[in-house]
Structure 1
């Protein structure tokens, strides 16, 4: 079971089987105290892909062509978000909603995004490391980089000290 899964696969299957046995969606949502949209989603995924479609699905890396195909199907074929998710086996409507918004704002280029946290220093200067003796220019460049780093560190330390002192003055 996934880390954020509230309902197990066995429970989902039990709800879907009860629906297929003739129980209504409203009745199931009341009996099991779950949202109607969850029941509808589980039923749709089950009808589309069987019991395996109720398993947790993580880490899909969709190509930009696939994303474009899904968005075009949504926009041009008149499919709802739910129907699109079932047809293309996308686990969450919110994923599709994000794709649509990206496509409407930026076109196909909106699908090319860097994932994760951005780097804090983009063009980090590197100290030149060579084997053998360094030339005078290389020595000066390395010393310059070290001095800049030391200066930045001291500035940051000074700012933190001033911030701490200001916070203490406010408390008084």
Structure 2
């Protein structure tokens, strides 16, 4: 997958002006500046719709309400808007966002448009709870705690030993003709 490149405002404005004011072709400007024609077309659309503000960096990870998402999807249906026209009308950075909304709406209805929780679920937290008492441990509890520690240490050493042995086996394979 190709790395996504972020272009600054001045660069975008210069490219758009070369196409619009200097009347040069999209393909020539795109090739000279090492930009995709699609990106250049998008910049021109945003410039014509919003002026200089259309070329400013877009807000990343914007969250949209369910009502807004439904409004966008319904206006696409009723007005027969293309995805690019809908992006311009509703100030949405890319058409892939709307495509995702359409997929989720088709699969789950309006429930699919609700925001999803992000990050690791809370149930994945396996940290052992610490004792919160001031009482000293009994002899049996101390021994159990030490046994647990030694078992964990033993497992780590076994894994390390297996790793070293596998690396040695790989080196031996490389050395043999």
TM class by smaller structure: 0.5 to 0.7
Change (3 A) 1:106 1:134: farther
Q: Please say if residues 67 and 111 of structure 1, whose CA atoms lie closer than 8 Å, have aligned partners that are also in contact.
A: no
1:15 paired to 2:18 = no
Q: 1:160 to 1:26 in 2, by over 3 A?
A: same
Kept in 2, the 8 Å contact 1:99–1:111? The answer is: no
Return the offset for 1:22.
6.8
2:95 aligned with 1:93 = yes
Q: Which runs of 5+ in 2 are unaligned?
A: 173-177
Indicate the residue corresponding to 2:118 in structure 1: 115
1:58 corresponds in structure 2 to: 59
Contact 1:74 1:80 in 2 (8 A): yes
Q: Which runs of at least 4 in structure 1 moved beyond 6 Å after TM superposition?
A: 142-146
Report the CA distance shift for 1:170/1:31 in structure 2 as closer, same or farther (over 3 A): closer
The 1:135–1:149 alpha-carbon spacing in structure 2 relative to 1, beyond 3 Å, is closer
Cα shift at 1:12: 1.4
Normalising by the residue count of structure 2, what TM-score does the alignment of the two structures yield? 0.65
Structure 1: gaps spanning 5 or more residues: none
Alignment of 1:121-136 (within 5 A): 122-130=124-132, 132-133=134-135
- 1:72 & 1:64 partners in 2: Cα distance? 14
Computed over aligned residues only, the root mean square deviation of the Cα atoms, in angstroms, reads 3.8
1:85–1:91 CA contact under 8 A, matched in 2: yes
Please report how far the alpha carbon of residue 41 of structure 1 lies from its aligned counterpart in structure 2 after TM superposition. Answer: 0.3
Whole-Å Cα distance in 2 between the matches of residues 127 and 146 of structure 1?
Answer: 16
Per the normalisation by structure 1, the TM-score is 0.67
2:80 to 57, 78, 81: 78
